[in-house]
Amino acid sequence: MFEKRLLAATGKAIVKLYLQEFDLSRLTIERTKKEIEGDFTLVVFPLLKISRKSPGQTATELGEALMKELPEICSFRVIKGFLNLILSDDYWLSFLSGNVNSEEFGICPALSKEKVVLEYSSPNTNKPLHLGHVRNNLLGYSLSKILTARGYEVIKVNLVNDRGIHICKSMLAYMRLGNGETPESSGMKGDKLIGKYYVLFDRMYKEEIRVLMEKGLSEEAAAQQSPLMLEAREILRKWEASDAETVTLWKQMNGWAYQGFDVTYKRMGVDFDHIYYESETYLMGKDMVVEGLEKGVLKRRDDGSVWIDLTAEGLDEKLLLRSDGTSVYMTQDLGTAGLRYNDYHPSRMIYVVGNEQNYHFDVLKRVLLKLDKPYAPGIFHLSYGMVELPEGRMKSREGTVVDADDLMEEMFLTAGEMTRELGKASELPEKEAEKLFEMIGLGALKYYILKVDPKKNMLFDPKESIDFNGNTGPFIQYTCARINSLIEKATALNLLSATEQAIHGITLLPAEKETIKMLTMYPQVIGQSADELNPAIVANYVYELAKTYNQFYQESPVLKEENPELRQLRLMLSVLTASVIRKSLALLGIGSPQKM
């Protein structure tokens, strides 16, 4: 990486010029802005105390010294306290020659045995996956790819919320209204059938509350006395007591949900190395609550419930076990964290969960720290923003969510319509065309979501996401397909036989140089994206690369170039660009069509 060599050479130059060592961490080296001549910019203001000269003089002295230290630097420009270094064209050509056929370019070798457990998805078995889950799954899966490319051993895990009061609500509605209905008899996916009964419970519950309030009860009193809610809580108590009839229905309904989830995950293109179930982790969580009581970290109230008091740390008191002995989410998450540590001994456990759970994960980490668990410092909550539609927020209980299956189908159909309208894929057989529409539709969905910083809320517009122009997945896919077509033609003409041959002595055009410069950034982009746990860095980089290559392609002939060395250069540039686009899209979980 040139920046490291530049920093080391700068340290030597400073000692020679000013006879002093200097803390190089105080120096800033960055890529020169496009509108300014230069390749790398070094800010010299921190050096003024030891140079005792003006910013311009200091930058000039350092530029001259660096030209002697690093032969790649052919010239420099000074703008006040900024030293803009210009590298020779042969440096960029050498980079291109050395990496054009490297499938490993950008991938960091595993420098350690560091393991990361990465949790994403975490569905409830009382409803199908929706648009919010889509963002969660896409973020988690993409991060697993990016962290792996960075050199980590990543274990992808899913925690299925298969127990709790929400599950009991669906069970109760089914017990009252189900009449033996199954996914087969209804023609519905299992998870959608369960979701139907969750919505029915909410409607019955709201009607019950309305009637109780008409009788003079306050809303709070009505909620406490609701026979439906009391019955749902009794089902939860029976489940935890292993009541045979309750457990049998629970297993049946959860089985339907799992079958539905598997279909959705497969189409979305995400998977897991291990699936945990809250029904298997809450007992270990209860044991940890007992441990906390014995250590005096937790307190039991008169009603039998167990709490942790975090008021001294600026938070409040948090319930860890109900008075009837049933567990809450926190109980389960304590147990899950312990199980994962025992299973994998990771250095980090990353939870991809929406920002409405910020407080929950803050408390989880604090409780584990107070219990002196060795894995507590490695707990990290990757908090992401909500996804909204032009119509506003979604509500699961009211059945107003955007179903993940419906959304993926809509993207597939829209991709087909737009692709046909543009005259693309007209020569493909129907089955191949459908595969292409699926790749374009899901690519549009994934890119549109992943290009947004995870921390930000976002508005999802399906129509805008599938545009073949602008900052979209289809634009990047089309760029890659166009380069593939170019390479295919070059291969047929036997013009790619010498791709590994070194090229030198060519004067690069601005668009050629800019594209090569973009390509050199790929390893750095992977590193930054992994370090910041932010796939948007990869997404926006690959868009800029595609845009930069298109500018080059419009300005410079490739196959029609008569000068064989220039043609070779441009073909090599195209080959490496296609490779980096393809690998970048793969890090986002997006496919690259061979033709479009």
The CATH number of the domain where 384 resides is what? Answer: 3.40.50.620
Burial-class residue 1 by CB neighbours within 10 Å (0-12, 13-18, 19+): exposed
Structure token digits, residue 542: 């690959």
Q: Are residues 61 and 140 in the same domain?
A: no
Decide if 401 is inside a domain: no
The answer to whether residue 126 sits within a structural domain is: yes
CA distances, 583 to each of 435, 519, 522, 541, 591 (Å) = 20, 12, 10, 12, 9
**Distance of alpha carbon 27 from alpha carbon 41, whole angstroms:** 11
Do the beta carbons of residue 209 and residue 238 sit within 8 Å? no
Residue ending a domain, choose from 348, 373, 388: 388
Q: Is residue 461 part of a domain?
A: yes
* Residue finishing a domain among 64, 87, 110: 87
Specify whether the CB–CB gap between 13 and 69 falls below 8 A: yes
Q: Are residues 285 and 353 in the same domain?
A: yes
Contacts for 321 with CB less than 8 Å, ≥ 6 apart: 286, 289, 305, 306, 327, 328, 331
Report yes or no on 409 lying in a domain: no
44-82 pLDDT, tens per residue? 999 999 999 999 999 999 999 999 999 999 999 999 889
pLDDT at 502: 62
**246 and 366: one domain?**
yes
Cα Rg, the chain, nearest whole Å: 29
Domain identity same for 447 and 578:
yes
- Cβ pair 446, 562 in contact under 8 A: no
Same domain, 47 and 134: no
Sign of CA dihedral 438, 442, 445, 448: negative
Question: Residue 267 domain-assigned?
Answer: yes
pLDDT given at position 391: 63
Within 13 Å of residue 270, how many CA atoms lie on the same side as its CB?
30
Which CATH number do you get for residue 50? 3.30.1360.70
Output the pLDDT for position 350: 98
Domain shared by 16 and 142, yes or no: no
Do 10 and 79 share a domain, yes or no? yes
pTM: 0.91
Q: Are residues 507 and 554 in the same domain?
A: yes
Q: Are residues 375 and 506 in the same domain?
A: no
d(CA 568, CA 397): 61
> In the structure encoding, which two tokens stand for residue 444, read together?
């549009």
Within this chain, do residues 56 and 125 fall inside the same structural domain, yes or no? no
Q: Is residue 133 part of a domain?
A: yes
Taking alpha carbons only, the member of 300, 292, 274 closest to residue 373 is 292
So what's the pLDDT on residue 497? 60
For residue 66, count other CB atoms closer than 10 A to its CB: 21
Phi-psi region of 44 (alpha: psi -120 to 50; beta: other; left: phi over 0): alpha
Q: What pLDDT does residue 74 have? A: 96
CA distance 180 to 185: 9
Q: What is the total count of domains within the chain?
A: 3
What percent of the residues of the chain are helix, what percent strand, and what percent coil, each to the nearest 5?
60, 10, 30
The pLDDT assigned to 396 comes to 43
State which residues form the domain around 33: 2-87
Same domain, 77 and 141: no
Would residue 408 count as lying in a domain?
no
Low-confidence ranges of the chain (pLDDT < 50): 393-399, 499
pLDDT at residue 463 in the model: 78
**Cα dist. 51→6, 17, 30, 54, 296 in Å?**
19, 8, 22, 8, 60
| DSSP β-ladder status, 387-388 and 379-384 | unpaired
Question: Are 73 and 147 part of one and the same domain?
Answer: no
- Domain-terminating residue out of 87, 107, 132: 87
Q: What is the pLDDT of residue 104?
A: 87
In a domain, 170, yes or no: yes
What's the CATH number where 483 sits?
1.10.730.10
